[in-house]
Structure 1
């Protein structure tokens, strides 16, 4: 086994969160190695829709993280990469979001949420029922109104991951793909590197960006992070003209995101992509790593989409795919150093928001690794908080 590699930071996981951590760490002048047991973006990232949202979050630490991330994504748009810009290559689309109320009874709660979000820095524009089709001409009849969120964006997550890692490699980062982390090197209680299936890699710090497998990685250091998989399905239609302009969803989606239920939940989420396909979500259920297809989930997706956009009843669904969101019980990610295992940092547990939150997560991790003041306080995201609750 080789023992000749040494870095400031080893990042475990080559999904979008790991890629963002690698990018920001190299920007901060740190030497970086990214390790993953598979290819890049092979886990949750490959099953994501690419949402960069502020509209679906209640005011609080996660929304603060989303707003910081939104600004960082926008700043990435013009970064040169691969002969063009990051925004163009990664299909960064500032299309905005549109949340609609199915009935007049649900509109007051949506308006109250928008008001609280606006106080936290979110742009939320009310849209009357008779104005919805000015934004989305193909919406169904009878909707009660809604709010438009111009800050919401979308990115192609696998492209974004590949580009972030390309930029990190251009700055000197090394990637070791196809190598499982089998344990940590230790100096007393301190984590000083990783052991993989092929070699030992020394590091001043290790960052756990292993997504739904973050608990397994943390266990190598004898610490607990309660990250569990939450399965979701997405339908993909045949390519169409740009018939859906925004990310459009019913207000029920916000409640589903915040739910603790393990049972199957679904609420319609529909959005077009630059390639012309329409992505249809969203379902959530906690069934472990069961990859079985759920006809019930697929039926719910199709019915919900047609409820919002009746024309979709005549459109061909090309395929469906599923993935596992890294779920935390309090719906907040785990970001920062772990005092239970000095030398170990975590950046995991983002559930369905990891693509959107990855930019800010990477920046905060890099600042923390450098011992700098972070743009946002890390206390709400601290890894040991679950031990405090159970104590």
Structure 2
């Protein structure tokens, strides 16, 4: 039983169904109705320092290629690479240090002098000190990816229960999972996967355990359709620091990318304001100004719409993946913050390995859901 029909839940259902398990997916809304539907579709290794998350990202990079071979253009997979740029020499020094550490973990990072940036991105602003090209970065259309992963899971026998809210997790007298209750009845399952994204903490609470998932709001601007004037995923060096920050305050850093359909997507903002969906004009102005500073050609381009979503934030910036030792049969696959789309395949495959009692490809210890006692006690 998978709770959540976003891209992470879809990946869990996909790999579990391929492994021969009987799978049901339950979501109170439609497919990709939460964070997935508000994502840009980033599949990044460029923003991750060496450690468990980068190992997960590199594993997922390989799996996304396999998925793309199966699903083809339907998920708009683009292995277009990323370009991280710095305005001055201090920023370049920081990027060099970061890239050296990443290379030791298997990341391809190629320094690009300022004078050669226009070979990769002809419309970049002049005068930048340089940057680093990350050929392993890619992009998908996240809602399409979730939908087609679930379609493939259904072809392998999975069943979807959309528009059905989980109201409880049933357990046996010994505490092991028995199934779930919903607003329509009850569903039996010896294992429940919590892939509820930003609402993962609420689902964990239904099983009587604490998982301190918090929403971190972000906005994205969508321009009018354009010729392909932005070739890569392009962002400024301070984006990496924003991703790693635990601050609740507003942070914005330019992230610009083109799409196969024509519109340019502009992010990224981060702030912890609960589930407040108020449209912030200040954030939109900041994003537009930062994007135009990187790509002056965008200054006169019309923004057609803006959308917002909530990243599922955990205090140490690592997701919760795997069996919860506090409740036998309960598994978690949530808390990926802004990296959930990129990390979805690895998360799903690792969950399926546990469900079928096979050895996971990665050590799941850093992702244990019971690691937060220090955070919840403070």
Superposition TM-score tier, normalisation by shorter sequence: over 0.9
- Which aligned runs of 4 or more in structure 1 are off by greater than 4 angstroms? 388-391
Contact 2:315–2:375 (8 Å) recurs in 1: no
| Deviation for aligned residue 1:87 | 2.8
Q: How many residues align?
A: 376
| Residue 66 (structure 1) aligns with | 57
| Residue 278 (structure 1) aligns with | 264
Of 208, 212, 233, the residue aligned with 1:222 is 208
Residue 365 of structure 1 pairs with residue 356 of structure 2: no
Cα deviation digits, residues 126-146 of structure 1 (max 9, x gap) = 100000000000000111001
Cα deviation digits, residues 331-388 of structure 1 (max 9, x gap) = 0000000111111000000000000000100000000111111010000000000025
**TM-score, normalised to structure 1's length?**
0.95
For 2:171 and 2:314, locate their aligned partners in 1 and report how far apart those are by CA, in whole Å: 27
For 1:347 and 1:71, locate their aligned partners in 2 and report how far apart those are by CA, in whole Å: 19
Of 99, 104, 118, the residue aligned with 1:119 is 104
Residue 356 of structure 1 pairs with residue 342 of structure 2: yes
RMSD over aligned Cα atoms? 0.8
Gaps of 5+ in 2: none
For 2:112 and 2:25, locate their aligned partners in 1 and report how far apart those are by CA, in whole Å: 45
For 1:87 and 1:127, locate their aligned partners in 2 and report how far apart those are by CA, in whole Å: 31
| Deviation for aligned residue 1:199 | 1.6
| Residue 163 (structure 1) aligns with | 148
Of 316, 319, 323, the residue aligned with 1:337 is 323
| Deviation for aligned residue 1:184 | 1.1
| Deviation for aligned residue 1:185 | 1.4
Contact 2:212–2:376 (8 Å) recurs in 1: no
Gaps of 5+ in 1: 1-9, 80-85
| Deviation for aligned residue 1:191 | 1.3
For 2:334 and 2:253, locate their aligned partners in 1 and report how far apart those are by CA, in whole Å: 25
Matching of residues 317-328 of structure 1 within 5 Å? 317-328=303-314
**TM-score, normalised to structure 2's length?**
0.98
| Residue 260 (structure 1) aligns with | 246
Structure ranking higher in strand proportion: 1
Secondary structure of the residue aligned to 1:249 is strand
Per mean C-alpha deviation after superposition, the further-off stretch among 149-158 and 380-389 is 380-389
Matching of residues 160-199 of structure 1 within 5 Å? 160-188=145-173, 189-199=175-185
| Residue 48 (structure 1) aligns with | 39
Residue 148 of structure 1 pairs with residue 148 of structure 2: no
For 1:240 and 1:326, locate their aligned partners in 2 and report how far apart those are by CA, in whole Å: 32
Cα deviation digits, residues 159-190 of structure 1 (max 9, x gap) = 00000000000000000000000001110211
